[in-house]
Every structure is written in C-alpha cells, then in structure tokens.
Amino acid sequence: MSQRHLCPVWVGYLLANPIRTLFQNPEKILGPHLTAGMWVLDIGSAMGFFSLPAARLVGPIGRVVCVDLQQKMLDALLRRASRVQLRGRIEARVCGSECLGIADLHDRIDMALLIAVIHEIADPSRCFAEVHDSLRAGGHVLFAEPRGHVAEETFGASLAAAERAGLRKIGSLRIPWSRAALLEKGGCLEPDGERIGSWGGRAEGVAGVAAPGKAGPCPRTLVGGLQPEPGLRGTPMPVIP
C-alpha cells in the first residue's frame, strides 16, 4: 500500500487525544455495527482511536487487526491497549508500501474500518480489493473521510472505486466532520463492467485480492497480538438499510 502522505507520528498523539471524543465518540460511531465475537480490521489504525473502542465492543472472544505503515504508531497503540487491559484482543501489523499484507485473513473479517485513510493512499482500488478479499460473505466496511480534506466529488470517486472492487454502498452514515458510508461485500467488476461472483459471495478464481488485474498476496509483518485462530468466527451482523 503506497502512500500519498505519511501522517507524522506526533500527529498520531493528537488524533488519539481523548478530547476528540467530544465530537467524534468512537463507541457511539462503532456501537451500532459491532457485536461480541466479531473480527474487525482497522486500516490506518495509527494509535488506536477507533481500534481500542472496537476491542471493547467485540469482547474477549473478538479480535481487532490493526494495520499501519509506521511501527511507532503501532508500538504506541499496543502500549495504550496494555494500559486498559485490551492487549489480548489486538493484533498489530506493519503493512508494506505496496499492499496491506492481509491475504491470510481471506473471508475472516466481519467489519473493516477505513476511516480517514483512503485519501492518503496512492492506489485506493488496490486497498479496496484487499479489504474485499478479507471480508466474509456479507461483511461490511465503515468508510469515512474528513470533510476538510476530501471534497464530495472525490468521496464519490472513492465509492465508485469501492464498487468496482466489490464493495457496494448500502447506506450513508452520520459522523461529525466526515463524509461516511456503510459498504457491503459483493462481487467485483471486470474492466468491461461485468460482475464476477454474486453479492454475498467471493468472486471465483481470484486469489489473494479480489480485484481483477491486481497483484497477488504479499508478506506481512506482525508487530504483536495473537495469531488468527482457525475456525474462530464473528457473529453475523444485520444489514443496515
């Protein structure tokens, strides 16, 4: 996953400041979408402003996989998780410059968080495709971008890229200072517009990532947290109209 702009580590401390909860309360934002036992993928997690509340919501049998480009961000996240006794529910991964390194999570994730990160990525289509592959059938994505950085037209273009990767918009979300939508996993599109696979199922014949024409799986680096356990699944999530 190559980046357009790398967020400085010192900004990560500002983003994780509790004062932010006064206008963006992560538990209120995530609460309607997460239940005990779910597996959550947080892309661009930084120091865990959304990751730690997600870990509380999914409970002790749930899992939150946090992916970030910067080791220092994840180190801070894990320290914060340890202080609030959530370390055992968090897995932190450093992603590479070309891909997320989540191929091993194929069909395991119940909810992915793409919050204030897509506008910093040079290849959003690749990111959406890898997230699509990680989601179970009927899995969801909470996609949000900051209004101050992302124009409505740009957000629309990102939604179109998500659609091509097999993530269709099923509803809009109200998050302060953000443009936000709930996406659902479906089939992905060929370059000519033909859909591969059906809504609610994985596209056939595509390994590693779901989008056609993209590169295959790439290695990942574990910073900390538990390894995924075979057979552990999240609870089904109701579709929000």
Q: How far apart are CA 55 and CA 57, in angstroms?
A: 5
Give me the pLDDT at residue 188, please.
62
Tens-place pLDDT, residues 181-239: 999 998 665 555 555 443 333 333 233 333 333 334 454 444 443 333 333 344 333 33
Strands (E), 44-134: 63-68, 90-94, 109-115
CB 39 within 8 A of CB 109: yes
Q: Which amino acid is at 112?
A: A
Q: How far apart are CA 228 and CA 102, in angstroms?
A: 11
Q: Around Cβ 6, how many Cβ atoms within 10 Å?
A: 10
Domains of the chain: 9-223 (3.40.50.150)
pLDDT mean over 17-40: 89
Tens-place pLDDT, residues 147-171: 999 999 999 999 999 999 999 999 9
Host H or E run for residue 43: strand 39-43
Phi then psi for residue 164, to 5 deg, are -65, -30
Average of per-residue pLDDT values in the chain: 80
Give me the pLDDT at residue 23, please.
77
